[in-house]
Amino acid sequence: MTAILIPAYEPDMILAGYVRELTASGYPVVVADDGSGPDYAPVFAAAAEAGAKVLTFSRNRGKGAVLKDLYRHVLAEMPDCSAVITADSDGQHAAEDVRRADELLRRGESFVLGVREFRRMPFRSKMGNGLSRFVFALSASYWLSDNQTGLRGFAREQLPAMLRVPGERYDYELSVLWYAALGGVPIRQLTIQTIYHDNNAKTHFRTVQDTLLLYRNLARCNRFGVICRGAALIALVVLDAAGLAAGLPWAAVLTAVWAAEKLAGLALKKTVTFRGLPLKGALREILYSALGLAVTLGLAAGMRALGAELPLSLHWLIGRAVALPVRYFACEAFSKMAVSRAMSSEISVPK
């Protein structure tokens, strides 16, 4: 049995119709009222009348906090539930797409991500998603065509780990993807309908505040990688200034610094950031980082062949900067190949 979980804050009557459509398909639906207040009591009453179980919270705590409470409810109160699908309360996620995600979960997928068509998004959503797609790919070495979608399916065994992911508001959903990517959880991308009502005018996503929160949390997740990169650059500056690298093969020095940076960063992620959670995506991160090293060494070799023997720290900076888009497009290309293979078995579920 798959349960549909809907976090809701100040929804309109679209919610009741959406619940009715889902329950008509046989799904148990749990709606969480994230402190919407008495003015919205009739909406939640209509959702309950349509067949949903409504959990009510007295104050608004954020989407991440409510999702965690919904997962706890499933683990504690729904022992027959083998999977969950989260959906937004504003009708953006068609019931047909929920059924398609459910079918993939029934076929053994552990994490299904409903991705919208980028070209059909409103301009504001398109810009925000495009930037987060770039930053996420470089941070997690994992390309997702839509990392801000709320339609997600999880096998039950994934829920305890989801409870340990940091974040209380919209930042939580991006953190879940980051932990899943680096934790080695296969994320099955499923193309869904792109539905916006009134050009997404009723969204509660605060463009500036929540975007900053997203990237702040992502930076905190990846803080040890940033610290180790900074330490590697400082080490090269010191080597340049003290002349300690003179007489040594420059490529070997850059490679040794890269290896020390990467090993230290992964060790810190494993022991501190993941706190015992699996870090099975480490090999993929090492491979994409090695691609960046290859770009750095290739540029340095070309510049030196042309007579531009810069300090190693400058070669490092230039190479790493050029490697960013190279790593991104390589990550995108391999991900699209995997998505293309998966689409050959994609399911269309009748209404």
Can you give the residue ranges of every domain in the chain?
2-221, 223-335
Q: Is the dihedral of CA 16, 100, 152, 71 positive or negative?
A: positive
| Average of per-residue pLDDT across 134-155 | 89
* Greater model confidence, 23 or 184: 23
**pLDDT, tens only, 289-325:** 999 999 999 999 999 999 888 999 999 999 999 999 9
Cα 342–Cα 177–Cα 291 angle in degrees, nearest 5: 75
Give 343: exposed, middle or buried? Use CB within 10 Å, 0-12, 13-18, 19+: exposed
pLDDT of 345 reads 46
**CATH 3.90.550.10 given to domain 2-221:** yes
Nearest to 86 by CA among 36, 24, 22: 22
Q: What value does the mean pLDDT of the chain take?
A: 86
pLDDT of 147 reads 86
| Average of per-residue pLDDT across 17-42 | 95
pLDDT of 348 reads 43
| Average of per-residue pLDDT across 237-245 | 85
pLDDT at 210 over 80: no
Token pair 């509660």 in the structure block, residue: 204
pLDDT of 125 reads 66
| Average of per-residue pLDDT across 7-36 | 94
pLDDT of 339 reads 63
The model's confidence at residue 245, banded by pLDDT at 50, 70 and 90, is confident
**Token pair belonging to 318:** 């230039």
The model's confidence at residue 198, banded by pLDDT at 50, 70 and 90, is low
Cα–Cα separations (whole angstroms), residue 213 to 89, 217, 283: 22, 6, 28
Q: What's the one-letter identity of residue 23?
A: T
| Average of per-residue pLDDT across 37-52 | 95
Centre a 10 Å sphere on the Cβ of residue 215 and count the other Cβ atoms it contains.
Answer: 16
pLDDT of 221 reads 74
pTM: predicted TM-score of the whole model, two decimal places: 0.83
pLDDT at 223 over 80: yes
pLDDT of 351 reads 41
pLDDT of 350 reads 39
Cβ atoms of 74 and 81 closer than 8 Å: yes
Give 211: exposed, middle or buried? Use CB within 10 Å, 0-12, 13-18, 19+: middle
pLDDT of 246 reads 75
Cβ atoms of 224 and 285 closer than 8 Å: no
